[in-house]
Structure 1
């Protein structure tokens, strides 16, 4: 249904990537190509820096780190996300739509800014899923 909806291709690709990865929308929409350049196409694993992830690690590591700051700087807390071939296809398509942008999912109006935090949600609201599905819902589905 989303694929056939009248919407900007980048918004549709972001929606598809949410469904394939169950990432938080804020992490996905602010992803830069620099973060993805080292992905091995044979064994694609996206390493998302801990600083970009929502961390609630208070009490972990037996108090050895101040987890409010140190955990976000510690590579041990980076999120390792295996990517499917379909996810790689989404990334390839996103690159084709915005080949010169630093962002994977740039705004239609401002290529140097990410898509709106509401772009995918508005897309879902325009469809029959209004009130029945939200972008964050992919996380609970996983």
Structure 2
């Protein structure tokens, strides 16, 4: 799906981003500098690699005392094909503190890349507002946050 998104969005976005999207869509291991340029956009970054963010922090027991313990919940969106155990090892390496432990709440298996559904793609491409083909650049967003969006309504 990421490959299809970049293939179809490249022509609409154009410029350096469009060129980079074509490179990423065509290469099994694209040039890291191309990936880094696209990754400057939060949307594209999330499509290119696993992302993790601390969603909950908990520490201390009183307002006037230093905490004796702390806990963080880190939510990771793991891209298909990447083993969750590898993500845990990366977090441990980044944290780099043997006093801290990284524990998976649930041990999920590696998620395979999902195949595209040919019937859905055919239907989408025949639609007057195909979700896979008629991407427009969101003009209501600030330039840094613009992304290719499915044309859901004429006023988008």
**For the superposition of Structure 1 and Structure 2, which TM-score range results when normalised by the shorter chain?**
under 0.3
| TM-score relative to the length of structure 1 | 0.23
Structure 1 or 2, whichever has the larger Rg, is: 2
| TM-score relative to the length of structure 2 | 0.22
- Which structure would you say has the larger RCO, counting Cα contacts within 8 Å and 6 or more residues apart? 1
